[in-house]
Chain A
Amino acid sequence: MARVQYSKLDRRHFPKIYLFLLPTLILFAMFYLWPIIQVLFTAFTKWDGFNSPKFDISNPFVNFLQLFKMRGFMPSLKNLFWWSLIAMTLHVGIGTLVGFLLAQKLKGWKFVRAVFMIPNVISSAAWAMIYRFIFNKDFGLLNGIIRTVNPNFAVNWFYESPAAFWAITFTWLFYAVIVTLIVLADLMAIPQELHEAAEIDGASGWKKTLKIDLPLCRNSIGTGVILSITSRIAMYENIALTSRGGPGNDTMGLAVLLVKSINDYNYGLANAIALMMFVFGILVMLLINRVFRMNDPVY
């Protein structure tokens, strides 16, 4: 490794430089480093939050074993699987499609781009409340629309099985603006010469889109897949403020179980769930990176 050269100016300012970094580093230590170390170690201990964590060498996976016995755990894994699948296909698909459409710069594209962002700048708690009203059995927007065709329709979306799973899904399914924005940024960066060359070779509009644009956007689509799955792993408000995981455990999620464990003073269990969320996130990232060959140069 090449040695970094420090100029006279740099050297003279070393103390002040570290002084400037200090507050940020303290925040980092308090709210990232120490929490992560704590989660990593206490996930393997019994800990009620009052007494000190107890590590039992004969049974280091005590919390994980308890997790599998918890009634909400398997449903939350199952939900996470299906929601991730829907996220990486439909959700990212919608985002990518809108990105490609906006890149055509049809009349009004800036308006659509601006408006699409609005659900993302609203508190997710408020958005969950709005959806609770949209899916309300009596005066909800959705049942109102359906009743214009079928006047006797009355599904209580968030509180009936299997409607609840889909009600939760619809609170996030269409709102793929992040995917749209990053795909759009990638599309804008494609050199015009590539398109011109393809035209000379006689490629039609569709062919250009499928054979040039789509493969060149694989980094942003891959990023979109990672982001959309990690938001499913951490999804909390959409569940906690609507169905609360019910009916039964139909819509249970890991984050809801985590908060429940903290409220039950089972801190070891809470951190076992947290560790699981963290590991899932890393795995998804590595896997998608591989599948989309995101580290290979695009051009």
Chain B
Amino acid sequence: MSQKVIVNGKKVKGSDGNVKKALTPGRVLYLICAYAVLLFIVLVSVGPIVWVIMSSFKSNAAILGSPFSLPDTFNFDAYGKVIGQFSFGTYALNSVLIASSSTVVAIVLLSMSSYVIAKYNFPFKNLIYVLLTVTLLVPGHTKTQPIFSLIMNLNLYDTKFGLFLVYLSSSIASSLFILRSNFASIPKELNEASEIDGAGFFRTFWQINMPLAKTGIFTAGILMFLGNWNEYYFASLLTSSPANRTLPVSLASFNQAFSYDYTRMFAALTLVVLPGIIIYMLAQEQVQASVAGSAVKG
């Protein structure tokens, strides 16, 4: 896009077609301030994480003595010990198992409902859609006791399945927004053609529409997985034994588990934090776009 901007009476255009403003003293001052703010934002966002990772390679004495120093060597001993001693494997496996199974099942179920809402007219459609999306306004914590009692009454306290059930419902509204608009953008004629060709309702959904909606499914899935992978509140309330503990909950028991061996604590923290960052990096643009989108609709 090329546009004209008049700075001090001169029209200046950059080589790439973007507008470049002339460097007046005022502009230089503005740029310095702007970059100072942006640098600060980058520092507070990644500084803490970089510090944690750095510290995980330092000895206990170095952590206590000189918090800023760079590690002398990159030795992964602490990581080995965390994974070996601290049932870290169990917690990680629980987290992967619960977060991924609940995400996959919920996305299939929510795709089904989003699909019929996007493609068909039926009685009570608007009521159902409003009810489902208004859930965005209910803060999760207000439902604590009813959900706690529900899981207790189903005899699912301290089970992975109990947590799976709770996580299924974790992001109905925001997933519905993403999936519905995705299905709605698939041409309706495709459904008519496929029904004429003799494909039934289920095949039209599963073999025609699901593959075409894959970007939305991917985005909703990533967002939901991140949410469930990071969830602490219900996980800490609904599980008690180490066999069913997820990674975020295990953080709370670090102090006792490592008896103040800070190197290992930082290594464990790194191991908990990194997967989320990596998954986010894979789908950065989509995550940002849909976070902004569903917030505005809510």
Contacts and interface: CB of A to CB of B under 8 A. Distances in A.
Interface string B127-156: 010011001011111111111111000000
A27 B109 contact: yes
A172 B5 CA distance: 38
Contacts of B237: 259, 262
A285 B137 contact: yes
B67 A6 contact: no
A277 B141 CA distance: 9
Nearest to A118: B45
A76 B224 CA distance: 31
A36 B143 contact: yes
A125 B232 contact: yes
A49 B149 contact: yes
Contact of B277 (A34, A121, A133, A233): A121
Contact of B142 (A33, A39, A121, A223): A39
Given A27-B168, A104-B34, A134-B51, A122 B46 contact: no
A124 interface: yes
B185 interface: no
B230 A18 contact: no
Interface in A207-232: 219-220, 223, 227, 230
B273 A123 contact: yes
Interface in B198-237: 201-202, 205, 226, 229-233, 237
Contact of B291 (A141, A178, A262): A178
Nearest to A123: B230
Sorting the interface of chain B by its residue count into under 10, 10 to 19, 20 to 34 or 35 or more gives 35 or more
Interface in A158-178: 174-175, 178
A277 B139 contact: yes
B141 A274 contact: yes
A123 B201 contact: no
Given A18-B122, A105-B18, A126-B248, A199 B6 contact: yes
Contacts of B276: 121-123
Contacts of B132: 24, 28
A125 B143 contact: no
Contacts of A199: 5-6
Nearest to A274: B142
B37 A101 contact: yes
A30 B47 CA distance: 41
Name A's interface SS: helix
A27 B116 contact: no
Nearest to B146: A35
B159 to A, nearest CB: 16
B78 interface: no
A122 B138 CA distance: 22
A64 B278 CA distance: 45
B139 A20 contact: no
A104 B31 CA distance: 10
B122 A139 contact: no
Interface stretch (A65-73, A80-88, A234-242): A234-242
A20 B38 contact: no
Contact of A125 (B68, B138, B251, B284): B251
Nearest to B266: A133
Sorting the interface of chain A by its residue count into under 10, 10 to 19, 20 to 34 or 35 or more gives 35 or more
A190 interface: no
A291 interface: no
Interface in B243-277: 247-249, 251-252, 254, 262, 265-266, 269, 272-273, 276-277
Given A141-B48, A144-B67, A114 B34 contact: no
A21 B116 contact: yes
Given A27-B168, A130-B52, A255 B248 contact: no
A58 B272 CA distance: 52
Interface in B137-192: 137-150, 165-166, 168-169, 172, 191-192
B110 interface: yes
Interface of B: 3-6, 18, 31, 34-35, 37-38, 41-42, 44-49, 51-52, 55, 63-64, 67-68, 109-110, 112-113, 115-117, 120-123, 125, 128, 131-132, 135, 137-150, 165-166, 168-169, 172, 191-192, 195, 201-202, 205, 226, 229-233, 237, 247-249, 251-252, 254, 262, 265-266, 269, 272-273, 276-277, 279-280, 284, 287-288, 291-293, 295-296, 298
20 contacts: A10-B120, A10-B121, A20-B113, A39-B145, A114-B288, A115-B42, A121-B230, A121-B279, A122-B276, A126-B248, A126-B272, A126-B273, A131-B48, A175-B44, A182-B296, A185-B293, A234-B141, A262-B144, A267-B145, A271-B145
10 nearest A-B residue pairs (beta carbon):
A35-B146, A123-B230, A31-B169, A125-B232, A35-B143, A144-B67, A181-B292, A24-B113, A274-B142, A121-B280
Given A31-B150, A121-B277, 17 more contacts: A9-B191, A20-B116, A32-B138, A39-B145, A42-B145, A98-B41, A114-B288, A121-B279, A122-B49, A125-B230, A140-B67, A192-B3, A223-B295, A258-B145, A262-B148, A267-B145, A277-B139
